[in-house]
Structure formats: structure tokens, C-alpha cells
Copies of this chain bind each other. A is one copy, B any other.
Amino acid sequence: MIVAMQGAASEQDIHAVIERMVELGFDVHRTTGAQQTILAGVGTPGHFDVAEFKVLSGVFDAYRISSPYKLAGRSFRPEGTKITFPNGVVVGGEEVVVMAGPCSVESKDQILLSAQQVAAAGAKFLRGGAFKPRSSPYSFQGMGLEGLKLLREVADQTNLLVITEVMEISQIELMLPYIDCFQVGARNMQNFNLLRELGYIRKPVLMKRGIAATIEEVLLSAEYILSGGNYDLMLCERGIRTYETYTRNTMDISAIPVLKKLTHLPVFGDPSHGVGIRDLVPPMALASVAAGADGLLMEMHPNPDKAMSDGAQSLFPAQLEKLMAQLRQLAPVVGRHIA
């Protein structure tokens, strides 16, 4: 940590800061300039809060000079993380992996047809929500356990993997037998108790960025899961909230190359939630892969106009097929491929 004192700070102010730094376990190096004094704290104390120093008397500002996350940092595994799934699909390698399917499992017919279309287009995962607590208490809330079973059944028939969202600790065990990957939604990115439990299991997790989460906060949340011992973690940019309301969210495409630089974890893009408007999904999917995404998570529905949720942002099956063809052409430009 570094503390820069104000030019007008008194010796007493400076000593109070030094004392507090030493108390936390820092060795303090002092540089006394003509304009101001700088205190560099070296060593490895446990947790500390730079905000605490910013409000001390005579302090100009205080800076943390190392990442607050360790296991999630690129340097922990410079070669990058690869996750191998049961049917041999590898995430984080050369292949760009596509996950697609409806927002919610609505019926056996709907999810079977979805799976067939997703598989035909060349995607590797079937997505679909079984538990859907919605922002209005009066909306459709999902099929629950029955939905999980349907996901597994149709995925097996179509040789797809299953990813679905987990919303509570109590659902983890319930879901385990039916799925290949847990999805942590944007609203749960800072549900630290849930993250901790997901660290203790041995099944891959894809964690979405919260709607107002900074990149640093994404990595701190990743650290929760990693620190439990579960290293099969993927991150996903899915749009942040800004002042622009034409799109449902503002998809921060730059978060993809930034995360690729800061962490070894695979990074996905979710253009469906990123923009919320069907016709904008293909250009944003292409942009995500052009910017370096390891995969895509997208909503597709056999009949989006009749979808029980998120219909406006779900692709028509023909749109997904056309997009996959473009992605196959695009991937090699950035040194990747799509099977």
C-alpha cells in the first residue's frame, strides 16, 4: 500500500499513518519530498481497507498496489484454464464454444425441439432455465425439477451438454445429477454464500458479471469460487447498466479482452442479455468473438413470439444457423475455430 500525504500534513499526521500501517503488518518506507511525504508499505499483511487511510488526517490519497485477488489472476496460471466436459468438449482451448437454448424450459415439446435446433446449428451446450424468479411476482416462475429432468433427457438425445442457472444453495444438490455446468446469474454475482458453496463442488461453473459490477468485482467473486477449490470456472460478460436505454443493457465488449488479460479463466459473451433485442444479437455475437471471447451464451426459441419469457431477445432457429456459419468464418481471423 502507498499513502501520499498532503503538502500541509503535520509530522503528527504522518506518524499516525505510519503507526496504523505498522499495526497492520506493513514495513514502511518514507520518502520526504519538498512538496509532500510518501509512505510505501511493503510486506504481506492480511486484509486491509485503503478507504480507511483515505479519511485519516493529512492524507492526500491511499493506493492498494497489488491485486485483491490471487487465484483468479493471470499470473496464477499464465497458460490459461481449459475445462474438459464429459463428451470431450473443451472450453478455453482453440475452439469457440456456443451455448444456446430458450430462456425457460416450458414443455417437453418446446425443449426437445430447441435441443434439436441447437444441435443442428452446431452449438455444444443446451441452455434453459428451470427456476425463474422474475422481477414481477406475477410472471411465470419456471418448471422446477421437472424442467431439469427434461433438459437432461433432450440433451442426451441430441448429444448436448446442459447448463442451467442455480439461484440458491439448496438447489445445488438438486441440480447436480442433471446438469453439466452451473450458471450463476448476474443478480447472484455477489451472493457470496452461494459462491462459496459452488467452490466446494466439482462441477464447472459459468458466472455472469453483475449488472453494475466492475471488472475487479467480477474477479473478487471468482476468487470466492476458486478459493473453495473449484477451478473449472468461466466468466461471462452480459451487459451492464448505463444511461442508454435503447438496448436492455450496454454490452461491454471491452470487458472480454480486459478479462482475458487479467485472468486465466475462459471468458464468454452473452449478447442476448447484452442488448435484449433479437436482431442485434448476431452482430454482437460476432463482435464478442472478434474481441477474443472463448464462447457465447445465447437465447434461441423455436417460436420466440410465443416464448413465456425473453421472447424479444431470443433468436429464431434460422438466425442461429446463419450466425453459426458466420462465426465459423470469423473464428480463424483471431486464431480460433468452431467445430
Asked if B283 and A256 sit within 8 Å, CB to CB, the answer is: yes
User: Which A161-212 residues have a C-beta within 8 angstroms of B?
Assistant: 167-170, 187-188, 190-193, 196, 210-212
Asked if A65 and B75 sit within 8 Å, CB to CB, the answer is: no
Q: How far is the CB of A240 from chain B (nearest CB, A)?
A: 6
Q: How far is the CB of A226 from chain B (nearest CB, A)?
A: 9
Per-residue B-contact encoding for A224-268, CB less than 8 Å = 1, 0 else: 100100000000000011111111101111111110010000000
A190 to B, closest residue via Cβ = B187
Q: How far is the CB of A286 from chain B (nearest CB, A)?
A: 4
Q: How far is the CB of A20 from chain B (nearest CB, A)?
A: 7
Q: Which B residues are in CB contact (< 8 Å) with A130? A: none
Q: How far is the CB of A167 from chain B (nearest CB, A)?
A: 7
Asked if A65 and B55 sit within 8 Å, CB to CB, the answer is: no
Whether, in the assembled complex, A54 has its beta carbon less than 8 Å from a beta carbon of chain B, the answer is yes
Asked if A137 and B196 sit within 8 Å, CB to CB, the answer is: yes
Asked if A137 and B192 sit within 8 Å, CB to CB, the answer is: yes
Whether, in the assembled complex, A133 has its beta carbon less than 8 Å from a beta carbon of chain B, the answer is yes
Identify A312's interface contact among B51, B221, B244, CB under 8 A: B51
In the bound assembly, the distance between CA atoms of A308 and B268 in angstroms comes to 36
In the bound assembly, the distance between CA atoms of A135 and B312 in angstroms comes to 31
Identify A280's interface contact among B38, B61, B214, B254, CB under 8 A: B254
Stretch from A26-34, A80-88, A89-97, A109-117 at the B interface: A26-34
Specify which of A8, A31, A326 lies most central, judged by the most chain B CB atoms within 10 Å of its CB.
Answer: A31
Stretch from A120-128, A149-157, A270-278 at the B interface: A270-278
Per-residue B-contact encoding for A1-34, CB less than 8 Å = 1, 0 else: 0101001100000000000100000010101011
Whether, in the assembled complex, A36 has its beta carbon less than 8 Å from a beta carbon of chain B, the answer is yes
Q: Please judge, given known A-B contacts A55-B277, A253-B284, A277-B55, whether A330 and B214 are in contact too, CB under 8 Å.
A: no
In the bound assembly, the distance between CA atoms of A334 and B327 in angstroms comes to 10
Specify which of A35, A256, A283 lies most central, judged by the most chain B CB atoms within 10 Å of its CB.
Answer: A283
Q: Which B residues are in CB contact (< 8 Å) with A137? A: 192, 196, 220, 223-224, 227
Asked if A279 and B261 sit within 8 Å, CB to CB, the answer is: yes
In the bound assembly, the distance between CA atoms of A258 and B248 in angstroms comes to 12
Q: How far is the CB of A54 from chain B (nearest CB, A)?
A: 6
Q: Which B residues are in CB contact (< 8 Å) with A193? A: 133, 167-168
Whether, in the assembled complex, A139 has its beta carbon less than 8 Å from a beta carbon of chain B, the answer is yes
Q: How far is the CB of A339 from chain B (nearest CB, A)?
A: 18
What are the nearest 8 A-B pairs in CB distance? A33-B42, A212-B212, A133-B192, A4-B65, A287-B287, A290-B290, A286-B290, A51-B312
Pairs across A and B, CB under 8 Å, 29 listed: A2-B4, A29-B38, A31-B40, A33-B40, A46-B138, A47-B138, A49-B309, A52-B311, A55-B278, A133-B193, A135-B190, A135-B220, A136-B220, A137-B196, A188-B191, A191-B191, A212-B212, A212-B241, A216-B246, A240-B243, A240-B250, A242-B250, A254-B283, A257-B283, A283-B290, A286-B290, A286-B291, A286-B333, A290-B330
Taking A35-B66, A47-B136, A254-B283 as given, write out 20 further A-B residue pairs in contact, using a Cβ cutoff of 8 Å, ordered by the A residue number: A2-B2, A2-B38, A4-B63, A4-B65, A7-B66, A7-B75, A29-B31, A29-B38, A35-B43, A38-B40, A49-B309, A54-B277, A55-B278, A137-B224, A169-B170, A187-B191, A214-B244, A214-B245, A286-B290, A333-B333
